[in-house]
Amino acid sequence: MENVEPVLENMESVEVINNKKIVVVENKKIEEKNKKTKPQLNLSPPLLNEISIILPINKKYEITEQFVNVIELAVYQKKLQNISFTIDLYKDSNDLHKIIQEKISPGKIFIGPLDSKETTFLNQYCKKGVIFFSFSSKKDLAKECVFLINFFPENELKTLFNNFPSGSKIALLYPENTYGYTINLLIDEIANQSDSVIINRASYNENLTNVREAIKELGKYELRKYELNRQKQILATKKDEQSKKRLKKLIKFQTTKNLDFTHILLPDYGLRLLQVAPLLPYYDVDPDVVQFVGTGVWDDPAFFFEPALQKAIFPGVQINKRENLIIDYNKIYGSKLMRTSTLPYDMIGLLSYMYQQDMSLNDLYDLLNNYNIKFDGIDGGFYFKNNVIERNLDIVQISNGKTLKIN
């Protein structure tokens, strides 16, 4: 199979008429088509040439707008001829139902919705011979005709534990929010299937009111401080030169360096990460002794200059894979590309391959259910397993404002 490898060129604007229906056919603007497709009974219908993008118009409209822009860019680059995209924006679940019922026909592809709530009821349409590529993060919604495209922490944790040195001892320090709880829930099973072990864990409030106590507890700060002071007192009573040199060296430290763990996993992001990370060395969790580790949410240049995170690692791909997209998006649309906006971009790359092969619906299912077939996207090689996207991720290391692949 050929690779799906999206890249970018300049792009004309795609027009939205009355908040819906619109499109690109042979890379040119066209007027809205009002003719409805009559459903045909076919055990293996061909894929329809009109793809419906279903995204929310009220909540998360910033994401909707950017996803549409990114799809526009990808469609132009892939030169998807004789394929049209209708932009169907919904206000709520009832509105989404109406849109799907109006659009549904054997061989129809829907891109969206964004949220798990609107993804929950999609399976009722599977018998109609359609397929949905949802951006939901709730993996149990992936079944039958619903395929999920997102960044899934389970995929990232498996990559980490597959790459930790044998016998690694892991500490987990996580925020008390949905993401942190998810990591805490997943990590034990993944660790049990690896050669590493979870030594300790601690959590902290989202408002960081107890983060210092959590770090001290995790690193046994008070115990190590007590042990160091005990050693200093013993050495102070001795008069030999070796003891004096040892005491002089220990005076520089607040605690002993004998931490129980070799790695500390910190699954946080945003401003909190930039506040929590420097506290670790402050309380003698030394990044020269312990390997700092993140998840995919670290994949943001805003974190790459933080001194405490230098030499830290996380699962991902180097930013140069998507650098052209970042530059071109800003140039064309005048705004910063969101990290999640690479999702619809790689989706269009996959669709490009599907239509080049003139696939039927069954052909598409065979393709997506064969996880030995992998595509090369700007977020790395990807495939589907149990209707959920998985990626072949690298381990990258933060170094002076950029990341370096180390595996």
- Residues 307-366 pLDDT 10s: 999 999 999 988 888 889 999 999 999 999 999 999 999 999 899 888 888 889 999 999
Provide the number of structural domains found in the chain.
Answer: 2
Which bin fits 334, alpha (ψ -120 to 50), beta or left (φ > 0)?
left
Residues 208 and 347 in one domain: no
Q: Does residue 139 share a domain with residue 67?
A: yes
Q: What is the pTM of this model?
A: 0.79
| Whether residue 14 has pLDDT greater than 70 | no
- d(CA 166, CA 60) in angstroms, rounded, equals 43
- 188, 200 in Cβ contact below 8 A? no
In a domain, 325, yes or no: yes
CATH number reported for the structural domain that contains residue 285 in this entry: 3.40.50.2300
- Phi-psi category of residue 231: left, alpha or beta, with phi > 0 → left and psi -120 to 50 → alpha: alpha
Q: 117 with 170, same domain?
A: no
Same domain, 120 and 159: no
| Range name among 5-19, 128-142, 234-248, 387-401 with the lowest pLDDT average | 5-19
Q: For residue 244, is pLDDT > 80? A: no
Residues 6 or more apart whose CB falls under 8 angstroms from that of 169 comprise: 196, 197, 199, 260, 261, 262, 263
Q: According to the model, what pLDDT value does residue 190 have?
A: 95
Res 9: pLDDT: 31
* Same domain flag for 183 and 52: no
Region 197-210 average pLDDT: 94
Co-location of 161 and 293 in the same domain = yes
Domain residues for 275? 153-317+396-405
Residue 175 pLDDT > 60: yes
145 and 91 assigned to the same domain: yes
Pull the structure tokens for residue 317.
């791909």
Mean pLDDT of 51-70: 93
Whether 161 and 284 share a structural domain: yes
Are 41 and 190 in the same domain?
Answer: no
Burial of 262 (0-12, 13-18, 19+ CB in 10 A): middle
Question: Which of 98, 17, 91, 93 shows the shortest CA–CA distance to 59?
Answer: 91
Q: Of 2-16, 174-188, 193-207, which gets the smallest average pLDDT?
A: 2-16
User: Nearest-5° angle of CA 278, CA 291, CA 396?
Assistant: 100
- Mean pLDDT, range 31-52, rounded to an integer: 59
Tell whether 9 is covered by a domain: no
Highest mean pLDDT among 11-20, 220-229, 250-259, 315-324 belongs to 315-324
User: Same domain for 220 and 138?
Assistant: no
Res 87 pLDDT > 80? yes
